[in-house]
Structure 1
Amino acid sequence: MRGTLYIVAAPSGAGKSSIVNAVLERDPGIRLSVSFTSRAPRPGERDGQHYHFVSAAEFQRMIDAGDFFEYALVHGDWKGTARQSVEPQLAAGHDVLLEIDWQGAAQVRAKVPDAVSVFILPPSRQALEQRMRKRGQDSDAVIARRLAAAREEMSHYAEFDYVIVNEVFDAAVDEMCAVFIASRLRLARQQARQRGLIEALVAPDVPDVP
């Protein structure tokens, strides 16, 4: 049975990566697709773990070659998901999670209409700014630009199937896991997964022949 494609998007600072990492530790049935980006690594980021870091020229070459499942220009840098990171795993029956932005999510939904999408919101604008500043990596000017971009990103929340407010981290992780569980229990997937059991349960009784 083909796997399910999950999309998780959020503005910068909403805690998306932390929630996703916690969910992946709980649910070994989901595989994270590591995106490509043309930006430089931030402190603590590792190539192949957080992103595949490539030059802008290499990213453009991959676009021209049709290597991407989805891609978008985000905050002046390219981000994208390679086809080989998604399609073979879905075909093999594995659930795949894409941690992407709303632009990439729109491209994915056009290609995979039954993808399950989740948008994560912060509890307030003030909390979002505090989380950005807590990183200690960006200047005031950069933070101001990121906050403006976040407002634009958050305006697209209604395009997603589920919305989670990351006010209490553990509760947000529980809610994300609940989305995955509910998705696997949808009628069509259970009909495919439990076909033999369902057919046996609803089969008409055969009268005993004396």
Structure 2
Amino acid sequence: MKEICYMHVRVLEEPELFAKAMSLVSAERREKVQKLKNQMPARLSLAVGILLVFAMEKCGLGDRRDDIKYQVHGKPYLECSDFYFSLSHSGEYAVCVFGDMPLGADIQKIKETLPTHTKKILSEEETAYLNSMSEQERRKAFYQIWARKESLIKWDGRGLRIPLHTISCVKDGQMIEQINFEGKRLFFGDWDIPEYAFSLCSEKEFQIDEITEVTTKILTKY
């Protein structure tokens, strides 16, 4: 079972809804949001917090929102539970993917320009794949690759300690849906959001049971 819940952060532009969301998230999340001086980063941080609350409520775990722990490299988890989740935000969207198995998810806003230095990010096959494309195609494909690698990092939990250029999401000139990583077969799944790249990584083939947008209407029901 895997589900996606997401939010466009314009929902939190209304002061009353921002305050309500702050009252619902964990004390730790409130502290993180309060430390952010700029409005957009604060809304994005609060959005992933409220999405996690929504996911936990849906799974009957609403009373455990303050029980989130962190592994040694920072991966969040709920102790003594088979509830797994991954949080991400970029641009104006926040996403929470949750299910009953370890997973990682990432969303990336497709920008007008690509990073100048990509040798530590891309494999040789990926670089050749991107160089064969038009500029517009290259931008989309790069962020698809980047989202996949970030989702793998979040699944794994060791962060950027994994040398990304040694992982290739391209084989024989095509983007692939599964890779072998340290003795395990991992599957990637995409979800189409205009102007964004999204990836989910898990040990089972990509299947989303439900996608929910957390809107103003939903938030006001809490």
Structures share a fold, TM > 0.5? no
- More strand per residue: 2
- More helix per residue: 1
TM-score, normalising length: structure 1: 0.28
Larger radius of gyration between Structure 1 and Structure 2: 1
TM-score, normalising length: structure 2: 0.27
Higher relative contact order (CA 8 A, sep 6+): 1
